[in-house]
Each structure stands twice: as C-alpha cells, then as structure tokens.
Amino acid sequence: MSIVASPTTLTPASSASQISNPNNTISQDGFLKILIAQLQNQDPSNPLSSDKFITENTQFAQLQQLTNMNTALKNLQNQNQSNSYAASLLGKNIMTNSAAVTVNGASVSPVGYSLAQNAADVQATIVDSNGNTIVTQDLGPQNAGTNAFQWNGRGVNGNYISNGTYTVEFSATDSNGKPIPISQSAGTVTGVQFTSNGAVLTTNLGETVNLSNVVGVSS
C-alpha cells in the first residue's frame, strides 16, 4: 500500500523520545490512531488490500487481548495482596473509620470503641443517616482499652426505631470533666471472608467490617 504524501512528514525519534520509550513500544490507542491515519491517507489508486487490512486488524486484536490480559493479571495480583493482608489481621485489634450499628427489628449489632485511659463517664449518641439524633445513652464509667456498646434499638420514647444503619458517636470525660481521646474500635479480628466485593472481617464483638473501612491496627 502506498501513502499519499502530506505536508507533514514523520522524522526519526529524537534521543530524548528514545530515552522515554526505550523499547519502542506503542499503546493500544496509539496503534489505533496509526491505523485510522493509514486508512484516511491511503492512495485511492492503490488502496489498502484486504489481506493487509486483515493482518493489521489481527495485530490490533492481539494487542487488545494482551492489554486486557495484563489488566486482569494486575487486578488478580492486587486482590491476592488484599486477601493476604486481611488474613494477617487475625488476632489483631482493628480501628474503623466509622462506628455504625445495624438495626433489624429487636436485633442490633454491637459496636466497639477504645479509650486511651479510664473514663469517669462515656456517652453514646445514635444518629440517623440525615444527621438527626435518635437517642443519647449514658454508659457511665468505663475502663481504658476496647469496650463494647450494645444498643437496644429504642428511641427516646422507648419504641423500637425503623430498621436500617445508624451511626454511633462516642464522647468520654475524666473525673475532672476533661475530654478523653476515644477512637472507634471494631474489636479483635476472629474471622475473614473473601467476597467478590473484597475481604470482610469478623470481630469478637460480633461486628463485620469491610477491609476498606479499617484505618488502624494494634496487637
């Protein structure tokens, strides 16, 4: 196939471009652009033959398959690394980026929290998805370390609230009324499940936590 000459001619790659692409490789997008340019600029009196067109399309298909295979292998590698990390958390205490409880009738999932020191008073406030306070419970004095909070699923009027997921906000003070650092703890990891959406951790407090929600780990 002959190509009609155009005002712009291609020149050999400069040394700088050769350094940035030492293997003279071409991306899938680049290959497609070259093929389109070849078709647009072919000589009408000597068009691209069908056998050459099939050959170049075959090369493009092979390139696309190799690209897809490379992407699949990378995803598999990332998933294996994630699963390995999740398995390494067995027996470790994990911190989450939020403390959430799931209400299903009279059944309410527990939630954990961790105190940096003994607290004279701890309070747990239940908030719905719109930021409205449902109820605040006084948990009284609590020891330093990981503690569990089990809400009964009732609002201020004593009635069970609607099923769903709610956020728990904790606050703690010492004997002088000064705030104590408190973090969200999901407890100690006792099991790991590998799902299509990623690893899910189970803790001794009965919580299930997605690996992506883990923000801290301690032994």
pLDDT, one tens digit for every residue, the chain (219 residues)? 444 444 444 444 444 444 455 555 556 676 667 667 766 666 555 555 555 656 666 666 676 677 777 777 676 667 778 788 888 989 988 887 667 788 887 778 778 888 889 999 999 999 988 888 999 999 999 999 888 888 888 888 888 888 888 888 889 999 999 999 887 777 789 999 888 778 888 888 777 788 887 877 877
Instruction: For residue 181, count other CB atoms closer than 10 A to its CB.
Output: 9
How much is the pLDDT for 70? 74
How much is the pLDDT for 6? 43
How much is the pLDDT for 2? 42
Q: How far is CA 162 from the centre of its chain?
A: 29
CATH code given to domain 93-218: 2.60.40.4070
How much is the pLDDT for 16? 43
Enumerate residues 6+ apart whose C-beta is below 8 A from 172.
115, 119, 121, 122, 123, 142, 179, 180, 182
CA–CA dist 211, 84 (Å, integer): 11
How much is the pLDDT for 74? 72
The residues spanned by each domain of the chain are 15-88, 93-218
Structure tokens at 48: 């691209």
CA–CA dist 191, 167 (Å, integer): 24
How much is the pLDDT for 85? 82
Percentages of the chain per state (helix, strand, coil), in multiples of 5: 30, 40, 35
Distance between the two ends of the chain, CA-based, in angstroms? 69
199: Cα within 13 Å, side-chain hemisphere:
22
Question: What angle do the packed helices 50-88 and 28-40 form, to 10 degrees?
Answer: 160
How much is the pLDDT for 54? 60
113: Cα within 13 Å, side-chain hemisphere:
28
Cα separation values, 79 from 65, 72, 73, 191, 215, Å: 21, 11, 10, 18, 19
Q: What is the pTM of this model?
A: 0.49
